[in-house]
Amino acid sequence: MLSTRMKNYRQLFESSELLWEKLGMLNAAQRRNFDERFMMSWIFHDFALEGQMLSVAEIKAAIDDEIISTPSLIPAYLHVKAVRDGIYMLLETRGKRLQLSLEWLKKLHQTLLPQGKKDQVQYRKDNPIHRMYFHDLAPADKISYRMRKLTDWFRTEECRKAHPIELAVEVHRELIRIFPWPDISGRVARLAMNAILIAENTGRASCTTTSARPTTTCSGSIRTSCCSWCSTAWTRGSARRAGSTRALLIPRGRDMQ
């Protein structure tokens, strides 16, 4: 008999498959409209988690190459474009097997760096006091070791056998705890999590600032509060290593109509 967790996982996969099936039934104009809203929603929530509230007009101005922006806004818009490019890169991997590695994580990080800063790939050198993420971070002198430890885990049997949702959560949680880069580590962690989910044809995890607990949206994506997700979403493997009995449970979401 399937456990509650596995039933929830199966429902997520079924919802995702139904979503892709329904998207295939849209005409070209409807699909463009959906893709635009999907992209803008993703960008909005990602920046909101970092404390930046963007309007629809601002996001459109940033991601539409035909709109001529005010010079003073271009530096901020370059960050939005970088996130857009990262999302496009993820969507191209749908259904393809990912090769999880340190090089893969570094590529995600470099993709999310704005134009003109693509060479700023060094790990952070200090331990920030004022930041958006209020939890213990790896000391700066331990980052290289912790990153190697994470990527060594990618080659283990435990990682290869992990359920895609549990794997995505574990990678996200560990990157947030390490926080390897000074500015966009949280963004890289979310992109890595979604890369794993999308590669397995699962809906993306939408980390919003209003959700109180993980749920499944009608579009088949996982919606969760980032803070509660980081603190409570433990895979069985990480819980076992920590001596805890907690396990990841994703509540049942609404069936797609």
> Computed from CA positions of residues 87, 93, 98, 101, in that sequence, does the dihedral angle turn out positive or negative?
negative
| Rounded Cα distance, 25 and 28, in Å | 10
Instruction: Provide the pairing of β-strand 205-208 with 215-216.
Output: unpaired
Residues 6+ apart with CB under 8 A from 31: 23
Residues in the chain, total = 257
Phi-psi sector, 164: left (phi>0), alpha (psi -120 to 50), beta:
alpha
Q: Which residues are annotated as a binding site for ATP?
A: 183-190
Burial of 182 (0-12, 13-18, 19+ CB in 10 A): middle
Specify the 3-state DSSP secondary structure of 70. coil
Q: Which residues are annotated as a binding site?
A: 183-190
Residues 6+ apart with CB under 8 A from 42: 83, 87, 204, 206
Residues 6+ apart with CB under 8 A from 54: 43, 44, 47, 48, 62, 80
